[in-house]
Chains A and B, each alone.
Chain A
């Protein structure tokens, strides 16, 4: 049995089918990357798992506990949200709190930890992402890369069973992408289970254990980085990789 088992996840916006019965298993400690053309529901898939979007259908089991994703019970919603944490494209740090308090917030308010303990955990997490020298900086004082590292610390401090990352480097200056990718890589090495949407193909190739190719709300191809990048069987996947210059054979260079 896998740590995370997503079953029959379907989501529509109006008449637009975004996710069409997605099934996905994620094992403990795995880094699963979702790739695919824009508008195919990659972000929506993550957001449904955290119930920031309400799917029409679907369930997820986390470590044996089953959650119905269409639940109306706010107790169940809160319980599921505590199993997963999200890292956003736009960082979404609380701008009226400094780095330390951003990380402490969930520990204090949701986990109800005593202040000293929350602080100890928060400092340790910020240290891991290389931000321990900026505990009292507010988000406005930090660069995009630094903000995203704080956001990753905020998510990891809550010890989620599954860490969701929604294009964590897309809003960053090219120069700052590296430090965030490194932070994610370290989080992966520490054994965190991660579901990641990204366009950083080289990174995915190096860090992910499994890659999902999503198109029109369906998982079209699934495999190890080697299977996906070096020997793509699916025609649509080949086309996608060609378009983003990840599949280079002599024929692809038309002169």
Chain B
């Protein structure tokens, strides 16, 4: 009887699939950036309650969170070409949809999906920043953008780090659905490989190992960042070279 489960193959085909790791990482990185940037914009729009944009943002977040990612990928992959055909037809333009590689659709769909979730995390984190510190920053003469960059984002960042890390991990695994946009990333490559030797089960085991190791590394990196940005528990040593004491009582009353 042929081997029912080829344990050796699970490990020997790892290098074969790792060739597609860059595609997975590339997809993840771009979707992450889209997610954070659009997510921050949505969070700001919702907090400032900018009319019209606020309602659009609320609807967008609701739809994105309320529909499966695979459906969103299909809608993007089939919807954008149809929209482009309309535009070409009505405006007489000649945009070529075939010139756009499938990975771009996957990046947009995954990125926008991320942004819906990230926007809520970012909004909550920004709202957790102490109003008093924002006022202090304004009162020393910082512009709105400087307050955001120097005070709000660093503090919101440490609050948002863990939930954003969660969503990044979900994203890495979400890229395995990019085959719907005809992108050959690791999971798609695993299926193709298995299609050749009918070792599907082994291919999925290999993929499971790779994704888990990837996530494990990411968890370590996040833990490192968390440690780096956290404020130290312990006060540093007070420098003893020059101990400055304020003699209180007499001088105040004098």
A203 touches B132 (CB 8 A): no
Q: Is the CB of A137 within 8 A of B236?
A: yes
Partner of A110, one of B130, B142, B144, B236: B142
Partner of B146, one of A109, A132, A182: A109
Residues of chain A within 8 A of B55, CB atoms compared = none
Closest chain-A Cβ to B245's Cβ sits at a distance in Å of 7
Is B253 a contact partner of A92 (Cβ separation < 8 A)? no
Q: Which of B138, B234, B244 lies in contact with A130, CB distance below 8 A?
A: B244
Chain A residues within 8 Å of B243, by CB: 133
Give the A-B contact count at a CB cut-off of 8 A: 109
**B window 77-134: CB within 8 A of A:** 130, 132-133
How far, in angstroms, from A78 to B146 measured CA to CA in the complex? 12
Decide: A78 and B143 in contact? CB cutoff 8 A. Answer: yes
Q: Which residues on B sit within 8 Å (CB–CB) of A90?
A: 132
- A95 at the B interface (CB under 8 A): yes
Chain A's closest residue to B234 (CB) is: A141
Cα distance A154–B141 when bound, in Å?
12
For A6, what are the chain B residues with a Cβ–Cβ distance below 8 Å? none
Residue contact B141 to A78, C-beta cutoff 8 Å: yes
Known A95-B155, A109-B146, A185-B252: A130·B136 in contact at CB below 8 Å: no
Q: Are A81 and B248 in contact (CB under 8 A)?
A: no
Report whether B141 and A82 are in contact in the complex, using a CB–CB cutoff of 8 Å.
yes
A193 within 8 A of B: no
Closest CB in chain A relative to B145 CB, distance in Å: 10
**Taking CB as reference atom, which chain B residue is nearest A200?**
B252
Within 8 A of B (CB), among A11-37: none
Contact A185 B251 (CB under 8 A): yes
Q: Contacts A106-B140, A110-B140, A185-B251: A133 and B238 contacting too (C-beta < 8 A)?
A: yes
Given contacts A81-B138, A137-B236, contact A179 B248 (CB under 8 A): yes
A133-160 CB contact bits vs B (8 Å, 1 = yes)? Answer: 1111110110000000001001100100
Q: Chain A 191-213, CB within 8 Å of chain B: the 1/0 string?
A: 00000000000110010000000
A157→B163 CA distance, assembly (Å): 38
Interchain nearest-CB distance for B11 vs A (Å): 45
A131 to B239, CA, bound (A): 10
In contact, B252 and A203 (Cβ under 8 angstroms): yes
Say yes or no: A179-B254 contact (C-beta < 8 A), given A95-B130, A141-B235.
no
List 9 A-B pairs, Cβ < 8 Å: A78-B141, A86-B135, A86-B136, A88-B132, A106-B140, A109-B146, A131-B244, A137-B238, A178-B248
Residues of A that sit less than 8 Å from B by CB? 50, 52, 74, 78, 81-82, 84-86, 88, 90, 92-96, 105-106, 109-110, 127, 130-138, 140-141, 151, 154-155, 158, 178-179, 181-183, 185, 202-203, 206
